[in-house]
Amino acid sequence: MQLFALPTSQLVIGVPAAYTLRDEKGQVLLQRGRMIENALQLEALRARGTIYIDYEESVEAQRQLVNELDNVTRRDAPLSVFAAFVPSAPGGEVASKTEQLANLAVRWGEMEARLIGLLGSITAPNNFSARTTQLDMDIRALLAQDRDAALYLMFHQSISAYASYSAAHSLLCAVLCDMLCDMLALPEEERCSLNRAALTMNVAMTALQDQLALQRHPPSPQQQDSILTHSVRGRILLARAGVTDELWLDVVACHHEKLQSEARLLDSAPVQRLARVLQTVDRYTAAMSPRKSRTGRTARDSARAVIVQSDAGHDEVGTAVVRLLGLSPPGTYVKLATGEVGVVLRRGAKPNQPIVAVVLNKREEPIAEAKLVNTSREGMAVQSAVAAANVRVRLNQDVMLKLLDRARTETNDGLPVPAPVAAKSPGQAPQYTPSTYQRLL
For residue 104, pLDDT over 90 is answered with no
For residue 42, pLDDT over 60 is answered with yes
Residue 142 CB-half CA count within 13 A:
27
Mean pLDDT, residues 283-304: 84
CA distance 317 to 265: 8
Mean pLDDT, residues 93-122: 79
Mean pLDDT, residues 98-123: 84
CA distance 87 to 70: 16
Between residues 71 and 432, the one the model is more confident about: 71
Mean pLDDT, residues 266-285: 93
Instruction: Please answer whether residues 206 and 166 qualify as being in contact, where contact means their C-beta atoms are separated by less than 8 angstroms.
Output: yes
Please tell me the class of the 97-325 domain. Answer: mainly alpha
Instruction: Please answer whether residues 366 and 393 qualify as being in contact, where contact means their C-beta atoms are separated by less than 8 angstroms.
Output: yes
Which among 13-27, 155-169, 369-383 has the top mean pLDDT? 369-383
Q: Is 158 exposed, middle or buried (0-12, 13-18, 19+ CB in 10 A)?
A: buried
**Tens digits of per-residue pLDDT, 203-245?**
999 999 989 888 888 899 999 999 999 999 999 999 999 999 9
Which among 87-101, 116-130, 158-172, 333-347 has the top mean pLDDT? 333-347
Across the chain, mean pLDDT equals 80
Nearest in space to 152 (alpha carbons), one of 181, 133, 172, 137: 172
pLDDT value at position 261? 64
For residue 64, pLDDT over 60 is answered with no
Mean pLDDT, residues 348-355: 88
pLDDT value at position 405? 86
pLDDT value at position 212? 87
Mean pLDDT, residues 335-344: 96
For the ranges 23-27, 148-152, 318-322, 408-412, the lowest mean pLDDT is seen at 408-412
Q: Residues 16, 22, 27, CA angle at the centre, nearest 5°?
A: 130
pLDDT value at position 90? 40
CA distance 340 to 252: 42
Looking at the chain, the number of H-run helices and the number of E-run strands are 16, 11
CA distance 421 to 406: 20
Nearest in space to 288 (alpha carbons), one of 319, 324, 329: 329
Q: What is the pTM of this model?
A: 0.74
For residue 186, pLDDT over 50 is answered with yes
For residue 9, pLDDT over 70 is answered with no
pLDDT value at position 68? 55
For the ranges 16-25, 94-103, 366-375, 378-387, the lowest mean pLDDT is seen at 94-103
**For the chain, what percent of residues have pLDDT higher than 70?**
78
* Helix segments in 201-336, DSSP class H: 206-214, 221-240, 246-254, 270-288, 299-307, 316-325
Question: For residue 416, what pLDDT band results from cuts at 50, 70 and 90?
Answer: very low
Mean pLDDT, residues 170-190: 94
Question: For residue 87, what pLDDT band results from cuts at 50, 70 and 90?
Answer: very low
Question: For residue 173, what pLDDT band results from cuts at 50, 70 and 90?
Answer: very high
For residue 105, pLDDT over 80 is answered with yes
For the ranges 7-16, 63-72, 341-350, the lowest mean pLDDT is seen at 63-72
pLDDT value at position 379? 92
For residue 437, pLDDT over 70 is answered with no
Question: For residue 8, what pLDDT band results from cuts at 50, 70 and 90?
Answer: confident
| Number of neighbours of residue 379 by Cβ within 10 angstroms | 8
- The domain locations on the chain are 3-83, 97-325, 333-440
For residue 432, pLDDT over 60 is answered with no
Mean pLDDT, residues 363-391: 91
Which among 179-183, 193-197, 415-419 has the top mean pLDDT? 193-197
pLDDT value at position 423? 38
